[in-house]
Structure 1
């Protein structure tokens, strides 16, 4: 005899399960974070490793793929460390120029609107803080965080190697839970998920590189210092829909305003980032990443907030790829397709919605 459970009991169990999942993720984040990064890198390196395995043993192919990626990442970290170091050296000069700019703004407000200026030093200390001290503290915390994460970083290549080397064994492990009659369907589903996720992650990396180049070119034409640093920094933030462009443009715009005092130049910088963001959202991302796993801005922002609360900065980095993987998984399971639809972006109106609008217009007529 089948026992039917009330709906409120099912929803209570679902909420309890989500709570336990978040608790589990927070409790074991020291294990899950490097495993998550390793899984993403393994998906990225899988096509390269498979091609190399045609000419050499699997272990050698995986090691060569890892070495190539590590060298590229090391060069990127070295370049950004030099840029950040030289940028932090100018913080004292920027602080002095910012003080002068604020003084001019206060004088303008007093002349035009009669607003009495506050003490400039107190304003800087309380409202903006000491920029040099903030920059020093930021660099110190970054170095401390990097030192603490070295052990995690050393584990990730080991995890990636094991995932790629034992991928057939892991697939057979999954098959142990599936009846023989359904394994062919599961194989096709797993292959589809793997291909879509690989194309999404690799496409996302390509989009970030293209946006970084376009941002840097625009700033370089304007003759702005640290054009490559600002351009690359803003390109990483483009994974945050709508908000990312504002955050990415804020730092170079403020830097230009403080150094030149020209509002027009600052607005041109913002316009450059806005134009690149327009190209990215309407042409670059749709053609490279495609629309199969596109996430709508609201879902992406929620994922970033939840990822930051659960896993901190690492969670914010992982949130977009993980929610994209979740959408792919939900798309493959029919009962959960409505949730995947909710997470997805709007590219065209569904036929049902068009029909409803047509009926409404007919009724009004």
Structure 2
């Protein structure tokens, strides 16, 4: 009987592991295969959260009547965000036309600069860097970032339709929740999960947007001080890339520094510009942002980087932007069930998670 029990235990564990890895494989394969369908939906949901977050701020205005606020908050938020997206799209298009010739000549000019450095230092830098350029072209990397924005704006009508229907449907969410969960305990638990996800994403978007605006503005000021061409564009790129953890900050410094190499005759100007941009990114990313966010973004840094790589591999640049919000949703959902709580602890930054028992109160 003891031997039979051990065999059953081993078989059960093996079956659970097999089903888990099989499910993960199917999930990753499906997410990757359906990226063209799922990315506009994911962006629409993120914009929907942003509209509701902005609407909540409008409702809190002291001079606004609460009843009037309930009526106009969502439409005003929708108009503001749609207008902002259209303006951003036209700004990116005009900026890219202005800098298109520079981008086309980027790799050639960088090669010429490396040849000069090789002659000055008497070290052959060209051969190893040419090997690197065979794998990674600077102009192609920049064009990929631009292509990601172009993909978003090319699907703008589709995304806005999704957002519109989400806003129409959200007034029935409470009724649907009551129908889905007739028992009060289950309903309270589901409401707690949804509220936690909503608050978490709103907090993340609000604080990250404020920090990104500060980063973008300071980047613009520094580039303008050094008279770097396209200062407004570099500020905007720094603002957008700040939503991508770690890698975004590196690229936000690297791109204007590379253009400075082409534009400035003196290497010292390039070094001072790069140093100023690095200081801005370091201070805001490592001092200001953690103080504002506190323990609200309780996700392991290793998991953040890992999810960045995984979502980036599946959904490209758009996946990198969405990686942190998606991990926040996953962490909140996993923390609500005893069977998945251990996974939530592994994903969390310090091991502290909301217990499912709290959600039922």
TM range (shorter): 0.7 to 0.9
Question: How big is the shift at 1:26?
Answer: 2.9
Whether the 8 Å CA contact 1:197–1:328 is kept in 2: the answer is: no
Which residue does the alignment assign to 2:301? 297
Q: Provide closer, same or farther for how the CA distance between residues 178 and 237 of structure 1 changes in structure 2, counting only shifts above 3 A.
A: same
Unpaired stretches in structure 1, ≥5 consecutive residues: 351-365
Runs of 4+ in 1 over 6 A off after TM superposition: 123-127
Cα deviations across residues 36-83 of structure 1 (Å, max 9, x unaligned)? Answer: 11111111112444657932786x754443221111111122222222
Whether the 8 Å CA contact 1:215–1:273 is kept in 2: the answer is: yes
Cα RMSD (Å) of the superposition? 3.7
Whether the 8 Å CA contact 2:241–2:252 is kept in 1: the answer is: yes
Give matches, 1:59-208, under 5 Å. 62-91=74-103, 97-98=109-110, 100-110=112-122, 128=133, 138=143, 142=147, 146=150, 150=154, 152-182=155-185, 183-208=187-212
1:272 equivalenced with 2:276 (yes/no) = yes
Question: How big is the shift at 1:202?
Answer: 2.1
1:250 equivalenced with 2:254 (yes/no) = yes
Q: TM-score w.r.t. structure 1 length?
A: 0.76
Which residue does the alignment assign to 1:44? 50
Which residue does the alignment assign to 2:4? none
1:6 equivalenced with 2:12 (yes/no) = yes
Q: TM-score w.r.t. structure 2 length?
A: 0.77
Q: Provide closer, same or farther for how the CA distance between residues 311 and 94 of structure 1 changes in structure 2, counting only shifts above 3 A.
A: closer
Cα deviations across residues 213-233 of structure 1 (Å, max 9, x unaligned)? Answer: 122222222332222222332
1:54 equivalenced with 2:67 (yes/no) = yes
Whether the 8 Å CA contact 1:83–1:226 is kept in 2: the answer is: yes
Question: How big is the shift at 1:263?
Answer: 3.0
Question: How big is the shift at 1:250?
Answer: 1.5
Picking from 271, 285, 291, the partner of 1:281 is 285
Whether the 8 Å CA contact 2:204–2:297 is kept in 1: the answer is: yes
Aligned length, in residue pairs: 333
Distance in 2, Cα, partners of 1:96 & 1:36: 38
Q: Provide closer, same or farther for how the CA distance between residues 149 and 28 of structure 1 changes in structure 2, counting only shifts above 3 A.
A: farther
Higher CA-based Rg: 1
Picking from 323, 345, 348, the partner of 1:344 is 348
